[in-house]
Amino acid sequence: MFDIIRHSLKTGVVTTPYPAPPPSSSSPARGRPAIDWDHWRDARPAAAACPTGALSHHDHAGRRVARLDLAACTFCGLCADADPAIRMTHDCQCAASRRDALVATATYALGPDGAHERLISPPAPAPGQPEALDSIGRQIQERAAKMFGRSLHIREVDAGSCNGCEVEINGLNSPVYDIERFGVHFVASPRHADLLLVTGPVTRNMELALRKTRDAMPEPRLVVAVGACGCSGGIFGRNYATCGGVDSVIPVDVYIPGCPPNPHALLQGILLAMGRIEAKT
């Protein structure tokens, strides 16, 4: 025990000291793709490279509607490799309270060769700049104190994930992020939970268990779908073994895209969920 204490004293504080320094991401870490819509010459190569159909297009009467669905995007970067008009960013804060808010569409006039001749209508503006982690955490703490007394209790359910999202969720409880300093706790029973965090596409074997878990939660209750699989079914979609995204089985209040979303993105989604419940009550 004394060896552990000595090691802890030697290591010192490792918890992120936000908001003193700005939030930073590892250079290999990928966030959402950013498209230069004004100078995008052709959506076809990127759409063909996309493994989940997050990038798609529909041509009709000399026009093309190009579509980027962040709920299905795994941030793999293949679209950026195929098209110089697309680049991968470090922006992971993409959570939304509506599924359609994760979809961006633009309409183009087509030239004779099928390439984009001009942009007719651009998509809605991209999300704003990420907030510092500690700022998000403090807002969670304040809203939790207002709505739930002193804390927010979360029950996490793996409905069929690859465990990538679970690794990031576990990171929330690490000394680096230390989510409990904001009054957020994970609980074992849905009867004690205010928020249900669901990962993975919902497998048919987990469909009934997920419904029962939500039904066991006291009102008011929140449901947050985590990752591309939770938001849309991801690379699995809907098939003989999976029902698709979480909202195909139970209502969802907030979607957190990513494959997997990092702890900062998870915190932003939790804060957004709490804002959603504030509007409902």
* Per-residue pLDDT tens digits for 49-98: 999 999 999 999 999 999 999 999 999 999 999 999 999 998 888 899 89
Q: Is 191 helix (H, G, I), strand (E, B) or coil?
A: helix
Question: pTM for this structure?
Answer: 0.85
Length of the chain: 281
43 vs 105: CA distance, rounded Å: 12
Rounded distance, CA 258 to CA 262, Å?
8
Q: What is the DSSP string of 64-81?
A: EEEEEETTT-----HHHH
Map tokens 């552990």 to a residue: 4
Tokens 């497998």, residue located: 203
Collapsing DSSP states into helix, strand and coil, what is residue 154?
strand
Distance CA 265, CA 102 (A): 14
Query: What CATH number belongs to 133-280?
Result: 3.40.50.12280
212 three-state secondary structure: helix
Domain with CATH 3.40.50.12280 in the chain: 133-280
Q: pLDDT by residue (tens digit) across 146-173? A: 777 668 899 999 999 999 999 999 998 8
